[in-house]
Chain A
Amino acid sequence: MLNIRTFPLGRWFLLLMFFVMSCPAIASAMETMVGGAPSKPWWFWPVVLFFFCLILGILAVMAGVGGGVLYVPLVSGFFPFHIDFVRGIGLMVALAGALAAGPGLLRRNLANLRLALPVALIASACSIVGAMLGLYLSRLNPDLIQTCLGGTIIGIAFLLLFSKNTEKPVVTKQDAIGLALGLQGVYWDDGSRESVEWKTHRTLLGLFMFILIGLLAGMFGLGAGWANVPVLNLMMGVPLKVSVATSKFLLSITDTSAAWIYLNRGCVIPLIAVPSIVGLMLGSILGVRILAVAKPKFIRYMVITVLLFAGLKAMDKGLGIGLLG
């Protein structure tokens, strides 16, 4: 019998990855073999989706990425749902995760409201435009969105691979906009047992970047934590802990506006949305417990590999090559 203490964590993780990649793929293959028309009872895919999202939630926490960025490419690649629904539900999933994390981060003063508010206004307004544009393009040709999604996901994988975030960036002089908006603060670092002061620089450039982030988040239904953190940390000079926490909180605002667009267009089907939301939230809770004994670096590289594969799969599907099944 397998013992959790003696069975290496890496193997557990590989088993999880195997399950994530294989369960919808096998089910899909079986369906195709039967002959194209849906042969499964209505409950089959929602049940598979629930367990898939449970594992996705564990992986997302362990790899330090949001649920939405894994959910949209993997579910659109391996499940029989149209990309319109996957994006709408992906945003609801990211929103629920951000709402769950937000209160704790705000109370500990890790997520900074002053920093979040101006950035959120830009990102949320642009995510509406992104969502409308995404739905318009999808109506013209869904393959176009699928291909662009694939390209974006591959870009995200490389961004995660090569971006070297800085724990406490050195900001020698705060710029005028940062000063006018009061984008500075202090937080208590439990690790180094000291209070850390921070302030922003290159604020205008950072704010411009959130136009692009909002557009991408809305267009593809992705939570945008993967982009928020590098912009806040590397560009604006915000400490990593504050960047990660503020980014997570930001999603609760950015994703709300884009989610409303998809919700109002009818892109959220309760039958598949609720198992996705509940599965990912339960998985996140489990993931936090497992995180204590995990090796985050190894897991991060594995998730980057999965993202690369999911991106290639989305491009393959969008371009109709059929190389990856």
Chain B
Amino acid sequence: MPTMDNQSTKPSREQIIYANLLLIGMLAGIVTLSITYTIYLTGLLPAHVDMQLISANWGKGVQEYLDITHSPHGWGWLALLGKGDFLNFIGFTLLGIMTIVCYLVLVRGYYRKKNWIFMIISVLEIVVLSLAASGIFGSGGH
């Protein structure tokens, strides 16, 4: 009967670190979202956009919605962290930023192993994700 080869079937060290970081980030993101959404719904912090106004306009295109509700795009929400609705963006950002953090660990690991192909792939992925997150591509419109 074949036996399990612990060495060859074991995940690499980078893979384990990646998994652990991802788990921590995911849990932090979900817990943060739960807390901030409770704050938002209970009105502990005032909302920037009235909920009735949201429900009256969520059927409109995003540009029209942003204009009517005077909502920011890109990283403009950082200036509105004192508002209950935009507080939720901390959780969304945590979920979106975790992969970049995990890739930083991979770059370090592949550099140490002198695995240049995968180090370059990891660096390029960080560049792609950072450009997407920066808002260069996504926040135009007004």
| Interchain CB contact under 8 A, B73 and A266 | yes
| Interchain CB contact under 8 A, A96 and B95 | yes
How far, in whole Å, are A267 and B65 apart by their CA atoms in the complex?
Answer: 9
| Interchain CB contact under 8 A, B92 and A268 | yes
| Interchain CB contact under 8 A, A117 and B125 | yes
How far, in whole Å, are A194 and B73 apart by their CA atoms in the complex?
Answer: 52
Which residues of chain A are within 8 angstroms of B125 by Cβ–Cβ distance? 117, 120-121, 124, 253
B 1-45 to A, binary, CB cutoff 8 A, 1 in contact else 0: 110110011111011101110110110011001100100100000
| Interchain CB contact under 8 A, B132 and A103 | no
Which residues of chain A are within 8 angstroms of B133 by Cβ–Cβ distance? 260, 264
Assess whether B54 is interfacial by the CB under 8 Å rule: yes
| Interchain CB contact under 8 A, B128 and A103 | no
| Interchain CB contact under 8 A, B65 and A193 | no
Known pairs A43-B51, A118-B121, A271-B54; A281 contacts B96 (CB<8 A): no
How far, in whole Å, are A139 and B2 apart by their CA atoms in the complex?
Answer: 58
B64 to chain A, nearest CB (A): 9
How many chain A residues touch B (CB < 8 A): the figure is 72
Assess whether B79 is interfacial by the CB under 8 Å rule: no
| Interchain CB contact under 8 A, A271 and B26 | no
B76 to chain A, nearest CB (A): 9
List the one stretch of A59-67, A80-88, A153-161, A221-229 in contact with chain B: A80-88
| Interchain CB contact under 8 A, A264 and B92 | no
Known pairs A121-B128, A278-B34; A85 contacts B51 (CB<8 A): no
List the one stretch of A1-9, A165-173, A181-189 in contact with chain B: A181-189
How far, in whole Å, are A256 and B95 apart by their CA atoms in the complex?
Answer: 8
B83 to chain A, nearest CB (A): 10
B62 to chain A, nearest CB (A): 4
Q: Is the interface of B mostly helix, strand, loop or mixed?
A: helix
Assess whether A142 is interfacial by the CB under 8 Å rule: yes
How far, in whole Å, are A42 and B49 apart by their CA atoms in the complex?
Answer: 12
| Interchain CB contact under 8 A, A256 and B132 | yes
How far, in whole Å, are A106 and B102 apart by their CA atoms in the complex?
Answer: 13
How far, in whole Å, are A106 and B141 apart by their CA atoms in the complex?
Answer: 39
Assess whether A99 is interfacial by the CB under 8 Å rule: yes
Interface centre among A108, A139, A186, A264 (most CB of B within 10 A): A264
How far, in whole Å, are A102 and B62 apart by their CA atoms in the complex?
Answer: 31
Assess whether B82 is interfacial by the CB under 8 Å rule: no
Which residues of chain A are within 8 angstroms of B40 by Cβ–Cβ distance? 270-271
How far, in whole Å, are A128 and B128 apart by their CA atoms in the complex?
Answer: 9
Q: Is the interface of A mostly helix, strand, loop or mixed?
A: helix
Assess whether A295 is interfacial by the CB under 8 Å rule: no
Known pairs A138-B61, A278-B33; A260 contacts B51 (CB<8 A): no
Which residues of chain A are within 8 angstroms of B5 by Cβ–Cβ distance? 186, 195
| Interchain CB contact under 8 A, B56 and A260 | no
Which residues of chain B are within 8 angstroms of A278 by Cβ–Cβ distance? 30, 33-34, 37
Which partner residue on chain A sits nearest B58 by CB separation? A81
How far, in whole Å, are A38 and B75 apart by their CA atoms in the complex?
Answer: 31
Which residues of chain B are within 8 angstroms of A252 by Cβ–Cβ distance? 22, 99
Which residues of chain B are within 8 angstroms of A273 by Cβ–Cβ distance? 88, 92
B67-103 contacts to A (CB < 8 Å):
71-75, 85-86, 88-89, 91-92, 95-96, 98-100
How far, in whole Å, are A120 and B122 apart by their CA atoms in the complex?
Answer: 10
A218 to chain B, nearest CB (A): 10
Residues of A within 8 A of B (CB): 38, 40-45, 80-82, 84-85, 88, 92, 95-96, 99-100, 102-104, 106-109, 113-114, 117-118, 120-121, 124-125, 128, 131-132, 135, 138-139, 142, 180-181, 186-188, 193-195, 252-253, 256-274, 277-278, 281
A/B interface sample: 24 pairs, CB < 8 A: A41-B55, A81-B58, A81-B59, A82-B58, A82-B60, A96-B26, A103-B20, A106-B22, A109-B9, A113-B15, A121-B124, A124-B128, A131-B138, A187-B9, A195-B2, A195-B8, A256-B99, A256-B132, A259-B96, A263-B89, A266-B141, A270-B92, A271-B54, A274-B88
